[in-house]
Amino acid sequence: MRVVCPGSFDPVTNGHMDIITRSAALFDEVIVAVLINEAKTGLFTVEERMALLREATADYPNVKVESFRGLLVDFCRARDARVVVKGIRAVSDFDYELQMAQMNHGLTGVETLFMPTNPLYSFLSSSLVKEVARWGGDVSAHVPGPVAARMAELFQQCQG
């Protein structure tokens, strides 16, 4: 079975990687779908996010990284993926994600599976990681190695 793990992944965190890794162990193929959102300026370009994700998932032969714009259900339909896997950190995540899941199912019948996050990552968000890194904090325990290195390089350039 082919599933999709969507997100902005700006940047990919160890919490994202936990969901991707667990999905890769459960399903035949996992497509990590990086959202292209022209309305937002990210820390990393879509191409950089995809490259970092490919590096982080290199040990998982059943994981592919692609980008998409528009409706997630259209992306899923084009790839014959009937299931979306979403990580849930807290009740607040569930409230929003449930609405999205119900809309997606109503539009095309795509199912959403909610995977509770590992408690080690329940506080972790890309926004928080960016904020800590922006102020010189060490985020290496919260993101894959290549991401930590790239963030340190990026924020060092900004401060220098």
CATH number of the domain enclosing 102: 3.40.50.620
Query: What SS3 state is found at 18?
Result: helix
Position 100 scores a pLDDT of: 95
Q: Does 160 map to a domain?
A: no
Q: Does 149 map to a domain?
A: no
Q: Does 151 map to a domain?
A: no
Q: Does 82 map to a domain?
A: yes
How many domains are there within the chain?
1
Both tokens assigned to 1: 């079975």
| Beta carbons within 8 Å of 73's beta carbon, 6+ residues apart | 104, 107, 108, 110
Rg (alpha carbons) of the chain, rounded to whole number: 16
Quick: pLDDT tens for 84-103: 999 999 888 899 999 999 99
β-bridge partners, 41: none
**Claim: this prediction has a pTM higher than 0.75:** yes
Q: Which range marks the domain in which residue 43 is found?
A: 2-122
Position 39 scores a pLDDT of: 80
Cβ count near 72 (within 10 Å): 21
Q: Which active-site residues does the annotation give?
A: 16, 40, 89, 126
Quick: pLDDT tens for 26-69: 999 999 999 998 888 889 999 999 999 999 999 999 999 999 99
